[in-house]
């Protein structure tokens, strides 16, 4: 079976109509972020999330001290472990980024 150019072009047109992410779509393109900005934003958002996790854990621990019946001990343990893991992961990512930067500088 041989496929002609017109059938391939026709299939491409049908794909464009099904999904706007396909090649040759006619939608206007938005301004893309630079990799530095997007990495910085992702890293800043990760730090903010770690901070939120820490604050939630501390607040639940304070609530457990002030009003022990208002908070479930399992929820406190989960929040505390989530905060600990998020700090650990952030530390690991920070160390790897620092190591990668050092490697890049030493390549020169």
25 has a pLDDT exceeding 90: no
Contacts of 46 (CB under 8 A, 6+ apart): 90, 93
More confident residue, 15 or 34: 34
Answer for the pair 71, 60: CB distance below 8 angstroms, yes or no.
Answer: yes
Q: Would you state the pLDDT for residue 31?
A: 56
> Residue 61: is it exposed, middle or buried by C-beta count within 10 angstroms (0-12/13-18/19+)?
middle
Cα(39)–Cα(108) distance, integer angstroms: 23
pTM of the predicted model, to two decimals?
Answer: 0.58
More confident residue, 108 or 3: 108
- DSSP assignment letter at 48: H
Answer for the pair 53, 86: CB distance below 8 angstroms, yes or no.
Answer: yes
Mean pLDDT of the chain: 78
Cα(15)–Cα(25) distance, integer angstroms: 10
- Residue range 27-64, pLDDT digits in tens: 555 555 566 667 778 888 889 999 999 999 999 999 99
Q: Would you state the pLDDT for residue 16?
A: 47
More confident residue, 23 or 55: 55
- Residue range 4-14, pLDDT digits in tens: 555 444 544 45
- Residue range 88-108, pLDDT digits in tens: 999 999 999 999 999 999 987
């Amino acid at each position: 079976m041989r496929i002609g150019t017109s059938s391939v072009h026709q299939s491409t047109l049908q794909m464009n109509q099904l999904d706007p992410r396909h090649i040759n779509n006619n939608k206007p393109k938005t301004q893309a972020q630079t990799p530095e900005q997007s990495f910085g934003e992702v890293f800043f958002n990760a730090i903010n999330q770690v901070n939120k996790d820490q604050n939630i854990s501390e607040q639940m621990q304070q609530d457990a001290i002030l009003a022990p019946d208002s908070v479930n001990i399992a929820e406190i343990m989960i929040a505390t472990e989530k905060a600990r893991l998020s700090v650990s992961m952030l530390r690991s990512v920070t160390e790897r980024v620092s190591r990668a930067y050092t490697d890049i500088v030493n390549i020169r």
